[in-house]
Amino acid sequence: MADPENTPFYITTAISYPNGRPHIGHAYEAIAADVIARFQRLKGRRVRFQTGTDEHGLKMARKAEEQGRTPAELADEMSGYFRDMCDALNVSYDRFIRTSEPDHHRASQAIWQAMEASGDLYLDRYEGWYSVRDEAYYDESELVEGEGGEKLSPQGTPVEWTVEESWFFRLSKYQDYLLDLLRQPGFLEPASRRNEMIAFVEGGLRDLSVSRTSFDWGVKVPGSEGHVMYVWVDALTNYITGLGYPDDMGDFWPADLHLIGKDIVRFHTIYWPAFLKSAGLSAPKHVFGHGFLLNRGQKESKSLGNVTDPVELSERFGVDALRYFLIREVAFGQDGSYSPEAIVQRANGELGNAFGNLAQRTLGFIAKNLEGYLPAIRGHADADSALFAAVDRAITIDMPEAFENLALQQGVEAWLHAVFACNAYIDSEAPWTLRKTDPERMETVLATLYICIAQLAVAISPVIPGSSAKLLETLGIPEELRTLAGIRSHWYSPLAESDHRIIAPAPLFPRLELPAEDTSA
């Protein structure tokens, strides 16, 4: 709220590991980041939004070997599915980065050399536990015992004993720096994640193995034959590669927000800030670890047969219905659950019945009774002023404050309360009755609703961009006014005096029905 217009805002998702196709969790993070990016654009900020794929590491090498092809061939195919998902879900990224791209190799080698110049890299021998699935090293004290007595990572993934020559990063050197950073208000949220990381650092940091010699699918360590960088060194570097590092990064760094899953908070709030500090760069301003998205309360897995293709889900229910559901349903930062029934209920009840029906009733009435010409404002009653105040508060105070604080669910709730206020207003003012008893008052009521609907369409556009754009086109709102400042300007009278006319609109949110197999589930 305090940020002046036209200031930079840089947001990233975690880059996805493409050893399998995208699942609903990938879609959830991409959509949430897109909502935040679009909201900042509405405020007039210069937004840079980056997502992409993290393509190196032992896991990709082994997967490719299983399939009888090269890691590069696997990465090319699988990365395409993630880009297609983002495009299908209307994710407005500025760059989709791939860690196999030449500029990223150059950036990763540059940050390595900067850390080396700081005296923070040394060659030694690594012996310890490694999870291929997590691409992470674990101390013996962190391991848990599986049902068969086998050792597992804290995430429940298999670990294997690894012995090889390795470059090490002096992570222990940055313990005090990291504690100070983690204790800064707002650096890491939610608070539960911050407390976990503080406890981890307070337990003592060991130097980190940052190269491998057992495979060659990765960024080559400069000046060290046979070594490739530990996948997380190059994966995290993507955030500055996309800004032009090691050349001029402009004014977008440090990042305003790294939006990530709660299972990779350690990498982003301990390893990454330490690498950056060593390289003479600032830490990101804010890291937010969101929760998992569960399928009917269960984590998705191939063994359970409940893995959902997010693109198929969007094709069944509509992109905006899916986007709205995920933001509206889940308290951001906590785990959430979804089901076809829940998506249909939210879409029909709130998008269709509340907002879509409000627009349909108002615009249909104008088309039918005023030949589509916009009604004139003929004075103001208390009810009009009260509605304008309710909508204005929602779109200028409650919703923006919630979105700034990443309380996305509460932001949508604030918007919905204003929609309900509009529905209560149209029912109480009853323009269909006024048409016979007081036509001038009818026009004022319809004009009031028209203005409020346009304002609400702009405010919700980060969440449902396709539907909002369609409605704003019908309303005749030019592109330059589709911002929080623009839609509060005096645009209505000039529009009403123009030749813009309302044609009887099609339903904005057609009613969704559950297929037979879902209703019986």
Is pLDDT above 80 for 271? yes
419 and 278 belong to one structural domain = no
- Tell me, yes or no, whether 503 lies in a domain: no
> What whole-number distance in Å separates Cα of residue 163 and Cα of residue 170?
19
> What whole-number distance in Å separates Cα of residue 35 and Cα of residue 271?
28
What is the number of H-type helices and E-type strands within the chain? 21, 16
Is pLDDT above 80 for 372? yes
Of 401-405, 463-467, 498-502, least confident by mean pLDDT is 498-502
12 and 114 belong to one structural domain = yes
Q: Cα dihedral angle (368, 369, 374, 378), rounded to 10 degrees?
A: -160
Is pLDDT above 80 for 305? no
Is pLDDT above 80 for 293? yes
Q: Angle, to 10 degrees, between the axis of helix 71-88 and the axis of helix 24-42? A: 50
Tens-digit pLDDT profile for residues 48-71: 999 999 999 988 999 999 999 999
Is pLDDT above 90 for 155? no
- Confidence class for position 128, pLDDT limits 50, 70, 90: confident
State residue 148's pLDDT score. 82
- Tell me, yes or no, whether 138 lies in a domain: yes
Mean pLDDT for 126-150 is 86
Judge whether 511 and 348 are in contact, CB under 8 Å: yes
3-state helix, strand, coil in the chain (%, to 5): 50, 15, 35
State residue 133's pLDDT score. 84
Is pLDDT above 60 for 518? no
47 and 183 belong to one structural domain = yes
367 and 244 belong to one structural domain = no
Q: Read out DSSP for 7-55?
A: -EEEEEEPPB--SS---HHHHHHHHHHHHHHHHHHHTT-EEEEEEEE--
The chain-wide mean pLDDT, for the chain, equals 94
Mean pLDDT for 315-328 is 97
β-strands 336-338, 293-295 pairing: parallel
Mean pLDDT for 272-296 is 95
State residue 519's pLDDT score. 47
Residue with tokens 């001038």: 440
Share of the chain above pLDDT 90, in %: 86
- Tell me, yes or no, whether 300 lies in a domain: no
Range of the domain at 409: 340-496
168 and 59 belong to one structural domain = yes
Tens-digit pLDDT profile for residues 179-231: 999 999 999 999 999 999 999 999 999 999 999 998 899 999 999 999 999 98
| CATH number, position 238 | 3.40.50.620
369 and 279 belong to one structural domain = no
221 and 146 belong to one structural domain = yes
Query: Who's near 420: CB < 8 A, 6+ residues apart?
Result: 354
State residue 517's pLDDT score. 58
Judge whether 385 and 445 are in contact, CB under 8 Å: no
- Tell me, yes or no, whether 451 lies in a domain: yes
> What whole-number distance in Å separates Cα of residue 113 and Cα of residue 105?
12
Q: Cα dihedral angle (195, 197, 201, 207), rounded to 10 degrees?
A: 180
- Tell me, yes or no, whether 298 lies in a domain: no
376 and 280 belong to one structural domain = no
Structure-block tokens of residue 434: 């006024």
Structure-block tokens of residue 55: 């393509």
236 and 349 belong to one structural domain = no
Mean pLDDT for 111-127 is 95
State residue 520's pLDDT score. 42
Q: How many domains would you assign to the chain? A: 2
225 and 359 belong to one structural domain = no
State residue 136's pLDDT score. 82
Query: Who's near 245: CB < 8 A, 6+ residues apart?
Result: 107, 110, 111, 237, 253
Tens-digit pLDDT profile for residues 3-28: 456 899 999 999 999 988 999 999 99
Is pLDDT above 90 for 86? yes
Mean pLDDT for 343-356 is 96
Tens-digit pLDDT profile for residues 102-116: 999 999 999 999 999
Structure-block tokens of residue 400: 């923006």
State residue 298's pLDDT score. 67
- Tell me, yes or no, whether 465 lies in a domain: yes
State residue 504's pLDDT score. 80
Is pLDDT above 70 for 44? yes
pTM as predicted? 0.93
Structure-block tokens of residue 311: 């693109």
362 and 249 belong to one structural domain = no
Q: Read out DSSP for 55-99?
A: --SHHHHHHHHHTTS-HHHHHHHHHHHHHHHHHHTT---SEEEET
Of 141-155, 363-377, 484-498, least confident by mean pLDDT is 141-155
241 and 347 belong to one structural domain = no
- Tell me, yes or no, whether 445 lies in a domain: yes
Mean pLDDT for 499-510 is 90
- Confidence class for position 1, pLDDT limits 50, 70, 90: very low
Q: Report which residue type is found at 367.
A: A
> What whole-number distance in Å separates Cα of residue 313 and Cα of residue 319?
8
Q: What angle do CA 263, 265, 266 make, to 5 degrees?
A: 105
| CATH number, position 425 | 1.10.730.10
- Tell me, yes or no, whether 101 lies in a domain: yes
Residue with tokens 């360590």: 221
State residue 306's pLDDT score. 65
